[in-house]
């Protein structure tokens, strides 16, 4: 695993030890960012099932100003801290050990809004639709912002969730990516 592009291009990233997480491959990461970016001018990102922190770190490398990383697994939190330190991104990051629902409640209290939200939950325990509905209901995404959901290919998400429209769906082997946008639904040149 490595940072694919941006200011930290080529920087190696550690994976979470054990089998509890499934890191996003470099190929899938590159495809995701080509669909939503590929580069950014500031803004705030949320990596809600952080794992190794690869998606949030990629967003920071590509110009996102700050990222909040959340994971409930202690090994994942240690790995995120290690990768942020190796990339010298501690000042642009917040890391919390928490489950997704509690983390969203804390974020709602802080009245934060994100340009990018990454949802990559364990495939067996997916609550993606409910999480995306909550992000929509609580207006946690800026106008024109994206929710990127990585999931198993057997998961089918609807074309519209709350105020978000599905603008891209792609399969990569056993993984699939659904990208929702808040706003007018136009997404660059597709």
Instruction: Tell me whether residue 121 is exposed, middle or buried, using C-beta atoms within 10 angstroms of its C-beta: 0 to 12, 13 to 18, 19 or more.
Output: middle
Looking at residue 187, its pLDDT comes to 47
Q: What is the β-pairing status of strands 175-182 and 141-152?
A: antiparallel
Per-residue pLDDT tens digits for 80-96: 999 999 999 999 999 99
Peptide bond into 38 cis (omega under 30): yes
Q: Which of 10-14, 104-108, 122-126 has the lowest mean pLDDT?
A: 122-126
Bin 187: left if φ > 0, else alpha if -120 < ψ < 50, else beta: beta
Q: How far is CA 35 from the centre of its chain?
A: 13
Report the distance separating Cα 64 and Cα 131, nearest Å. Answer: 22
Looking at residue 123, its pLDDT comes to 64
Q: Which domains does the chain have, with CATH numbers?
A: 26-182 (3.40.50.150)
pLDDT band at 21 (very low <50, low <70, confident <90, very high): low
Q: How far is CA 115 from the centre of its chain?
A: 11
**Phi/psi at 169 (5° precision):** -140, 125
Angle subtended by helix axes 74-86 and 54-61, to nearest 10: 20
Q: Which residues pair with 71 in a beta bridge?
A: 97
Percent of all residues in the chain with a pLDDT value above 90, rounded to a whole number: 78
Quickly list H helices, the chain.
26-36, 54-61, 74-86, 100-110, 128-137
Looking at residue 125, its pLDDT comes to 60
Task: Output 179 or 188, whichever has higher pLDDT.
Answer: 179
Q: Which residues pair with 179 in a beta bridge?
A: 148, 168
């Amino acid at each position: 695993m490595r940072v694919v592009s941006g200011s930290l291009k080529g920087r190696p990233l550690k994976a979470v030890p054990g089998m509890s997480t499934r890191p996003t491959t470099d190929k899938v990461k590159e495809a995701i960012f080509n669909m939503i970016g590929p580069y950014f001018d500031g803004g705030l990102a949320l990596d809600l099932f952080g794992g190794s922190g690869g998606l949030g770190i990629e967003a920071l490398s590509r110009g996102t100003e700050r990222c909040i990383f959340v994971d409930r697994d202690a090994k994942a939190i240690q790995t995120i801290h290690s990768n942020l330190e190796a990339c010298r991104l501690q000042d642009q990051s917040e890391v919390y050990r928490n489950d997704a629902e509690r983390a969203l409640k804390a974020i709602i209290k802080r009245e934060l809004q994100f340009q990018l939200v990454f949802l990559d939950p364990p495939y067996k325990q997916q609550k993606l639709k409910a999480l995306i509905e909550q992000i929509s209901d609580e207006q946690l995404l800026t106008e024109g912002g994206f929710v990127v959901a990585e999931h198993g290919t057997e998961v089918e998400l609807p074309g519209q969730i709350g105020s978000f429209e599905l603008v891209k769906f792609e399969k990569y082997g056993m993984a699939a990516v659904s990208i929702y946008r808040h706003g007018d639904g136009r997404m660059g040149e597709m």
